[in-house]
Amino acid sequence: MVLHSVCSMSIPASVSAESQLQASWGPHYNCPDVSMVTTGYSGRLWSQDLHPQYWSKYQVWQWLQQTMDMHQLDATSIPFHNFDLDGRQLCSMTYQDFSHLAGSVGPILYQTLADLKWTGQYGPSVDTFSPGDVKTELDDLPCSGLSFKEEASFYVPPELFEIKTPFQSSTMMTSPNPSSPDHKRSHNRSHQVKKHNPRGTHLWEFIRDILLNPERNPGLIKWEDRTEGVFRFLKSEAVAQLWGKKKNNSSMTYEKLSRAMRYYYKREILERVDGRRLVYKFGRNARGWQETEK
DNA sequence: ATCTTCTTTCCTGCTT
DNA sequence: AAAGCAGGAAAGAAGA
């Protein structure tokens, strides 16, 4: 039980390239501490006695993470990099600023911070802003509350590039380098997200997010028909490796990944595309891939 | 403790 | 022949 790792957002001087690759920027991916925080939450979630005004950037991020967690929101639905702010800057943000920077989650963050500023703890906002206020049932899927542009603007499959965001550093510290199958199993699903998406990013979301970031998708997957949601794997094994890396499973292959993909047919997250190798199509239950969500 | 969900792993057979 | 597809079966991991 370690709260230290939670978002040990301080960036250690020696973060290996490998660990960077394993990291991701959101709890969505493996920020183990998140659930710890949730678990340990007992009325007063925020342990800092400091007024928000005096928070460091690190503390701002901690607060962000915990707030998302508390509201059972997927942390991928906000661009953490937009919150590279210290407490003073955070406190000077208006309601509109929050909405602008965090989309549909903005009001929740604004309200939560407002409560915190005036009461020093999480108060009525928890009830005032239930997740249902900003989420629909279908919103259980990450990013679904945002438009394509919004999500594409901030989601960055961390494995695909080496830019280190502050949040990445927090997660990378806690990701052991897997070397054995046993190891991989014991660590990969620890806590990524919560109730509505308990195991963190699903495979189809991982695929979707690669597709939504063509500028950082080095020819792994491409759209065949953007409006119809048809896409094709260009480097099937590379995608599998990335998926494996994300799950701390070094033995992932496209064969196994594709089996998981085929299970999506039944759930209508994917539709079959007959006769075409490596081609899939998003189904009616896949969310967040459309340019303009219906 | 048990159930459920979402994979992961392995497999056989088929198709391209 | 190799790679990919289809889908059954079993099991693991973790949340409810």
Q: Give the E-state strand segments of A102-239 in sequence order.
A: 221-225, 230-233
Per-residue pLDDT at A278 exceeds 80: yes
Task: Note the pLDDT tens digit of each residue in A196-219.
Answer: 354 678 999 999 999 988 776 788
pLDDT (0 to 100) of residue A117: 63
Nucleotide at minimal C1' distance from the A188 CA: C13
pLDDT-derived band at A271 (thresholds 50, 70, 90) equals very high
* Pairwise CA distance, residues A188 & A193, whole Å: 12
End-to-end CA distance of chain A: 42
Q: Which residues of A77-110 are buried (b: 16+ CB within 10 A; e: fewer)?
A: bbbbebbebbbeebbebeeebbbebbbbbbbbbb
Distance A264 CA to C8 C1' (A): 15
**Which residues from 181-220 of A have any strand B atom under 7 Å from their CB?**
181, 184, 188, 199, 202-204
Task: Note the pLDDT tens digit of each residue in A142-183.
Answer: 333 333 333 333 334 444 433 233 333 333 333 333 333 333
